[in-house]
Amino acid sequence: MPISPIIAEEGSSYARSVKFSIGGVVGILSAETEAYKWSGGNYIYNYGGPSYFLNWLSPSFNAMFLFSSENKFCFGFGGDFTISLFGLFFTKEETHLHHTHPVTGGTIAPYGIIGYNNFILHMGYDFGTGSIYLSPNYMINRHLMIGIQMSPFANNHQGLYSILLPPKERVSPPDPYWEDKFFQMGLSFQYIF
């Protein structure tokens, strides 16, 4: 029986491999936002509601360290880095192309790998969004992989995105700040070397 194309050559009873991939993600980030503004020496509630980013330019890089056996089962670990650069921003009030912020989303995630045949699941933690990371994938052939990349239950106080937000208190705090709870999901395409 043939071994999964991502794992080993046919006829190998046991294999270790290191794989690198580049690709991209087309996805959406759905956020429930609460915005605050500085007034009278304090931050006061200014706005609340849903907003969405539709990202279509999100380059991605993966590294995978895999162990496999002849029965098509595999396991290992890896890491994903994805950054969302361009797309559309939606709120109840407006829709516009956004490019004022160079980063509108993305992923920095170490993960574990488990798979069988051409189906491979990545599970880990997304440091960018401060949430779990899930990515079920399917190998089309030895070099092409498609999947669904998800970072649900994210909160900007838990992830690295929080460094992009103004703090609640500072020496001179005239800037507004906002709090988001969001869900990030996209369709990923990877070319494996």
If one counts the domains in the chain, the total is 1
Please name the residue that has the structure tokens 């001179």: 172
Among residues 192, 193, 190, the alpha carbon closest in space to that of 82 is found at: 190
Answer yes or no: is 9 within a domain.
Answer: no
Answer yes or no: is 72 within a domain.
Answer: yes
Answer yes or no: is 94 within a domain.
Answer: yes
User: 161 — phi, psi (to 5°)?
Assistant: -60, -20
What is the share, in percent, of the chain residues with pLDDT greater than 70?
A: 79
CB 117 within 8 A of CB 129: no
First-residue to last-residue Cα distance in the chain: 23
Answer yes or no: is 6 within a domain.
Answer: no
The CA distances from residue 66 to 22, 70, 110, in Å, are 17, 13, 14
pLDDT tens profile 27-61? 888 888 788 888 888 888 887 888 788 888 889 99
Q: Which domain holds residue 107?
A: 14-192
Answer yes or no: is 98 within a domain.
Answer: yes
Does the global pTM surpass 0.85? no
Q: How many CB atoms lie within 10 A of CB 109?
A: 26
pLDDT tens profile 118-167? 999 999 999 888 889 999 999 999 899 999 999 988 876 667 766 666 66
DSSP state of 1: -
DSSP state of 8: -
Among residues 112, 87, 106, the alpha carbon closest in space to that of 159 is found at: 106
Answer yes or no: is 41 within a domain.
Answer: yes
Answer yes or no: is 154 within a domain.
Answer: yes
Answer yes or no: is 8 within a domain.
Answer: no
